[in-house]
Structure 1
């Protein structure tokens, strides 16, 4: 019997630890690899309080991405909330810290969520059974809330989201508290969102507190130093920018010998924004823990051999606003910039090994330290060609024929233009060059003509691709305009005197070329024209007035030249 109970005692905890919890996906970028996976865990939430936990985790997430620099770099984050269940609600209060104010608080008299309890609010001694054992009164400070069951946290993460980057533990207690360390921890006090973000500063970016927390925390950091030398302080590249300087922690004792970069930063005051020095560290940490390359096509694992024009595509996590400078290079020669996809022609490759490379530099103003400014993200496709190929014949966007209005303009466009190639356009009959690039403009066309385009790369030239610009029939402008003046109504009626043809209608223009709407006598206002619109009624003017009328082919929308009407 003893052995049986001993085995049961061993198996029951093991079964509990293998429990699966529901995961809420609050933000997802399409992959969980090479990205910051922010995981939220709940402690002290019973099964009946999971909806409270869901609301708390969503509120934290929304707040988190309202704070800079997370707002700008939100596309580098996934956010998952694991609905961990505790047997009992709350957190442990031993009230052994010297600053703990012990006393009973009737929580029934207060709102259920986000109570405005200050640090010195009276708290009852409690020892609830929670999944991670979060407790107050750590390190001699009542507000220092720390999960005690680290192995349990590790086990939940391992079985649910093993590739986590940053963990936030939300503790279901209304009293003020939190901590940094391995797990950023915060209660759901009314200041909880600011507490959690502050604690993430410790866990995610290794930031120091910019208030004096005690001699035990007096260590060098990117935002805390015992030197006041402007040439040696860790934030020297930010001095003089947006309030960054060298400020003492205090006037006496140990605090007077340590320095911080700013007088108003979230690492000192919860309601403040992060100072430029801390924001830079967050951005640098995001870059260390993630990659902007969410997905690429073709995949990078294989050596490629091209036998036709191939598209290469990037799916990127980008800051907002986008501060990326992106360069595509083929065998160390730049062929395109600041675009997410290109076409590559096998005729651009030499026989043997080739490399197509993408380099990304973040030009954000949030970085000043040269070690961060000079950082680059990159990927490389390996290509191996068995032989040298000819350049592919360009493809016209509209095949071999493109119609245009008589006297109008047109644009000739290369379909799927290849990065790095130069496209040269010619009038076919005369051989006269008309322009270079993927788009060329032809003005004032009065007759049908053929044009062609040729691609160039180094010493290679493709076959020409020809297109016919077909000029449509000319729309003759109106010739007979009758002017009738109604002195009683003080109106002028203009009428185009032409044989009715349902294929055409008319548009009227002011002297400056702006359209004139027709007069609706019943409603007493101008409205958009309907029907043939061959009549126009205007207010009579005491001075000479000029308007224009054009005839429009409703099938092609081509217009005639303008006919001037003076009255």
Structure 2
């Protein structure tokens, strides 16, 4: 995965600044950089003589991170790197300017560091931060432009950290928990589940003003794993906002992420990384008369594996939940044949039946067969998201389709017994609405097809 620096100011900074190349070291390698989430840890307040300590501190954070859900289940989706950025002095600034404590809560000091981090940011003693995003972006652009997320590890044993585009964390008490919490903000767009203040309150994965259990965005989790609708406070503006859990890591360090946050994090992982690492055979690599023909998928599997697959040949299901499939000459029709493997995640941390989004990846083989054997074969890989909302609904249901190959999605609305009552197509990046108000109340199916292959279905609840 590659983060593209689109902002012209950042590009300009990168071009005119002295190109400084620092040592990059791999802590965890799960696969190719363009097929994994690349987490890069930058050193701040470490002198060159302290780089061994930096590696130890970064490794400690990484180890803790991948013992916690959902990171431990999706560990194979991540690479982790460190960039050894030297500072002239150790530590970080403590200006003693916070308004939330009696200063000096820590000894007032300054440190000549590369990213100029400081405690007491925005008047809060524990808020460890630097506004020098340009320098951070330049270091990343010059040394590891393929990064997906970066975190700045500050060589200070005083409690502190912050979120934002680039999260910061100290190495003091609860440092690893702070870093994982801050990644919840920066990488997964999670809100604090303690009240973050009026300026930061907003609709998000785990924050809402909705109080109706049938409409709240985490309705599929209500009553499970202590998920509910909990107001942030009993008075003031905070009372207008609600969180899904009382002891999530986004509220208290030392706890697990709640089920709602885990689901949102997995959704983001699926947005960034397709579960198909590679496949075989690729275009035109088959011998004409060699049978059986072996087709295979190399998958990036969660731990334990929750990936499922369906294989269809000419729209007929031929296998489920296998990584390899062998086909004989008698399996093919004369002319063009279409073999499609669809891979999706059936993790219990995703409420599949009620969830509004389908993430899936496909490989399609187009195979021309004649009495002489396989004459030609082409392959295509695709990843897509299908959003369906609102559900349940009385009148209108919306479908949004996004995919890598600019394919078109075919949607068939059917009764439970398979009778098709509506059919439409949705282009890439398009949203289409279907009026189902004439239908009787009950359960219907939305069946999805793309690249001439069935890719999944979702239940529609017509109220």
Give TM-score scaled by structure 2 length: 0.73
Q: CA deviation at 1:373?
A: 6.0
Q: Does 2:75 align with 1:93?
A: no
Q: Determine the structure 2 residue equivalent to 1:116.
A: none
Q: Determine the structure 2 residue equivalent to 1:201.
A: 184
Contact 1:43 1:172 in 2 (8 A): yes
Q: 1:308 aligns with which of 279, 283, 290?
A: 290
Contact 2:289 2:373 in 1 (8 A): no
Q: Determine the structure 1 residue equivalent to 2:461.
A: none
Deviations 1:351-378 (A, max 9, x none): 4433221111211110116446633221
Contact 1:17 1:155 in 2 (8 A): no
Q: Determine the structure 1 residue equivalent to 2:73.
A: 72
Gaps of 5+ in 2: 1-13, 375-463
Contact 1:99 1:142 in 2 (8 A): yes
Q: 1:190 aligns with which of 170, 173, 181?
A: 173
Q: 2:118 aligns with which of 135, 157, 164?
A: 135
1:346-361 equivalence runs, <5 A: 346-361=329-344
- 354 and 152 in structure 1: CA distance in 2 versus 1, 3 angstrom threshold: farther
Q: Secondary structure at the match of 1:33?
A: helix
Q: Determine the structure 2 residue equivalent to 1:32.
A: 33
Q: Does 2:59 align with 1:58?
A: yes
Q: Does 2:227 align with 1:244?
A: yes
Q: CA deviation at 1:284?
A: 0.6
Deviations 1:466-515 (A, max 9, x none): xxxxxxxxxxxxxxxxxxxxxxxxxxxxxxxxxxxxxxxxxxxxxxxxxx
Q: CA deviation at 1:232?
A: 2.1
1:361-380 equivalence runs, <5 A: 361-368=344-351, 370-371=354-355, 374-380=358-364
Q: CA deviation at 1:242?
A: 0.9
Contact 1:284 1:372 in 2 (8 A): no
Q: CA deviation at 1:304?
A: 6.5
Give TM-score scaled by structure 1 length: 0.60
Q: Does 2:106 align with 1:123?
A: yes
1:546-561 equivalence runs, <5 A: none
Cα root mean square deviation, aligned: 2.3
In the alignment of these two chains, the number of paired residues is 359
Give, in whole Å, the separation in 1 of the partners of 2:184 and 2:43: 20
Q: CA deviation at 1:126?
A: 2.8
Q: 1:388 aligns with which of 362, 366, 371?
A: 371
Contact 1:325 1:361 in 2 (8 A): yes
Q: CA deviation at 1:389?
A: 4.7
Higher relative contact order (CA 8 A, sep 6+): 2
Gaps of 5+ in 1: 1-12, 104-121, 392-567
Give, in whole Å, the separation in 2 of the partners of 1:44 and 1:73: 31
Give, in whole Å, the separation in 2 of the partners of 1:303 and 1:217: 55
Tell me which moved more, 313-322 or 190-199.
313-322
Q: Determine the structure 1 residue equivalent to 2:103.
A: 102
Q: CA deviation at 1:209?
A: 0.3
